Structure 1
Amino acid sequence: MSSRSLNRIVLIGNLTRDPELKYTPTGTAVCTFSIATNRSWTSSDGQTKEEVQYHRVVAWQKLAELCGKLLNKGRKVFAEGRMTYRTFTGKDGVLRTIAEIVLDDFIVFGEGRKMTETVAEDKKVETESVIEAKPESSKEETVNPDDIPF
């Protein structure tokens, strides 16, 4: 019997851009966005230091559609998922590896109405009413610190 393992990521941070909702050729919803998290500490010389980390997040199926509807740039969220790595060939022909969090669940902070009401409304939305977007090739995400709303 092999030992068990755990791959769990939990983040609380702010979206650095609006989510990008697309559909695969088979009609599966996929939504990508980025979350920034901050860490501050006092150095040995007494100065306060701050560090920002950017996390690429991807959601699939119904969760992707909810992300596309409920999230926007600057919104604070709790996100839970698992870390994955994938490789692709860039437009320059170079093989690249990208780390991303596959979203399992999320909570939106600062929302005016209850999430249960929003989820109930979203269950009425049918995927046929959503226009399919043409899938793009994978590309690395770069975030300009000046574009971050905090």
Structure 2
Amino acid sequence: MASYNRVVLVGNLTRDIELRYIPSGLAVAEITIAVNDRRKTSSGEWVDEATFVDVTLWGRNAEVASEYLQKGSPLLVEGRLKLDRWETDGQKRSKLRVVGEKMQMLGSRTGGGSGGGSSHRAASQASEDHGAYDSDESYSADSSPRDAQPTGGGAGYDDPNIPF
């Protein structure tokens, strides 16, 4: 029988991240994400409901999250579900959590709004660490490729034989 275990969550951090290292030197961060759901009740009023999901980040994802994110920061996490089981005082317990494999910081890069207060410089550094596009470093409004785009005023622009 085939199986597929994949979770994608978008939410906000419920507390600041505490980074720790296991004896092998690998970074680990246990975080909780609040995922909000808004639905309409049978009486027609809107109700907001938050679901709190525990997520474990490992390695560089844990280090980057610890460095650039704080309580309230918006975050997208992709990973897999894992069921932890243990016994306490003779009672069997279990807890479902997400093992985060990919992480994307969301929000603005300017430090205002919903970006959780992170600075543009911090977000730019995180983007460089993950090879993401950094708009301020790689593009300027005066770049020459934009000048090469047709504007509609050139010779032959109204030619009826143009195939589009």
The alignment's TM-score, normalised by the length of structure 1, stands at: 0.69
Partner of 2:107: 110
CA distance in 2, matches of 1:81, 1:36: 16
In structure 2, relative to structure 1, the CA distance for the partners of 1:51 and 1:77 (3 Å cut) is same
Larger Rg: 2
Q: Residue 121 of structure 1: CA displacement? A: 5.5
Amino acid at match of 1:18: D
Unaligned residue ranges in structure 2 (runs of 5+): 110-119, 131-164
Task: Give runs of aligned pairs for residues 96-135 of structure 1, distance below 5 A.
Answer: 96-112=93-109, 113=120, 115=123, 117-120=125-128
The C-alpha deviation readout for 1:16-54, integer Å capped at 9, x for no partner, is 011121111222211111000111111121121221100
CA distance in 1, matches of 2:106, 2:62: 18
Amino acid at match of 2:96: A
Question: Which one of 92, 95, 104 corresponds to residue 95 of structure 1?
Answer: 92
Partner of 2:67: 69
Identity %: 33
1:4 aligns with 2:12: no
1:17 aligns with 2:15: yes
**What secondary structure sits across from 1:40 in the alignment?**
strand
Question: Which one of 38, 41, 44 corresponds to residue 40 of structure 1?
Answer: 38
Partner of 2:116: none
